[in-house]
Structure 1
Amino acid sequence: MSEDMPMPMPMPMDHMAMMHMTFFWGKDVVMLFDDWPNGKLGMYILALVFVFVLAVIVEFLSGPTTIKTGAYTTVSGLAEQALVYGIRTALAYLLMLSVMSYNLGVFIAVVFGHAIGFILVKHRGDLKATNDDAE
C-alpha cells in the first residue's frame, strides 16, 4: 500500500461476534435493524411473532384476485394488483432478510407463518368455491 492511502479500519469485535454464517439458536440475534431485538427475551419473542404475522400477511396478499370487466375497472384493477404485488414483494424481502440472520427461531417462525397463511388462504378459497357452487 502507498503511504497516502489510509489503512482500512477493522470492524469492532462486538459486531463480528454477532455475525453468524451458520444456523444458531438463541435470543442474541440482530435482524432488520441495529440493536433489535437486542438480546432481550421479550423483544426476541416479539420479533418471532412479528415475522410470523408478516409471513401470514404475505400469503394472504398472494391469494387469488379478480378484475371486473370494463375499461376503467380493468385499469384500476390492474393498478390495484400491481400495488398489492409491490407490497407483497417488499414484505417477502423483509422476511428474507430476517431469515438471513441465521437464527433458527426466526427461520422456524417464518416457515410456520407461511404454512399457516397458506392453509388459511386455501381454506378461504375452498369456502368461497363451495359457496359459489351452492348458488
Structure 2
Amino acid sequence: MDDGPMRQETMKPMAFFWGKNMEMLFAGWPHNNLGMYVLALFFVLFLALAVEILSVSPALKPGMSPTVAGITHAGAHALRMSLAYLVMLSVMSYNAGIFLVTIAGHALGFFLIKRRLAVRAQAMAHEGHIPSNTLSPKV
C-alpha cells in the first residue's frame, strides 16, 4: 500500500551510536545541525536534573489544608513524571551523547539534593536540633 510522496520511511537505530545526525522527541530536531544537537544535550541534561530535584516532596506550609497539600503533591508528581517520560523518550533515540548527559543530569541533581540536605542537617546540628552523631553516613 502506497501512502504517496509525503511518507518517508526512517530507520530507527536499535543500538547506541555516536553523532549529531539524529531525531529526538520532535520530527526534524535536532536533525543534522550541530548547534541544535548541543542544545538538545543541554535540554536533556536539564530535564534529568529537574527530575531529580522534583523527587523531593514540596515543602508544605503549616496550617495548609489537606486538599491543597494533596493537590500540591499531585501536581509536583505529575510534573516530575512528565519530565521523566521525556527523558526516557530522549534516551530511546539511542544516541550515546544523549545517554551520557542523561546520566550526568541525574547524578548532578542527586548530588545537589544530597548536598543541600547535608548542609541543612549540619546547620540544625549546630543549632542543637539534632544530635551530631546522626550526621555520619551509615554504610
TM-score for the superposition, normalised by structure 1:
0.84
The aligned runs of 1:91-102 (5 Å cut-off) are: 91-102=83-94
2:32 counterpart residue number: 39
1:61 aligns with 2:57: no
SS in 2 for 1:120: helix
Q: Output aligned runs, 1:1-135, within 5 Å.
A: 7=1, 9=3, 12-13=8-9, 15-16=10-11, 19-68=12-61, 70=63, 72-135=64-127
Structure 1 residue runs without a partner (length 5+): 1-6
Q: CA deviation at 1:87?
A: 0.1
Shift in Å, 1:38: 1.6
Question: TM-score, normalization: structure 2?
Answer: 0.81
Partner Cα distance (2:8, 2:58) in 1: 49
Matching residue's letter, 2:72: E
- Stretches of structure 2 that go unaligned for 5 or more consecutive residues are 128-139
CA RMSD of aligned residues (A): 1.8
Kept after mapping to 2: 8 A contact 1:67/1:73: no
Once the two structures are overlaid, the 10-residue window that deviates more, 21-30 or 61-70, is 61-70
Question: Following TM superposition, by how much is the alpha carbon of 1:65 offset from its aligned partner in structure 2, in angstroms?
Answer: 3.9
State the alpha-carbon separation in 2 of the partners of residues 35 and 76 from structure 1.
41
* Greater fraction of residues in strand: 2
- Tell me the percent identity: 45
Provide the rounded CA distance (Å) in 2 between the counterparts of 1:92 and 1:53: 11
Query: Does the 8 Å CA contact 2:47/2:83 hold for their aligned counterparts?
Result: yes
More helix, by proportion = 1
CA gap of 1:116–1:54, structure 2 versus 1, over 3 A, is same
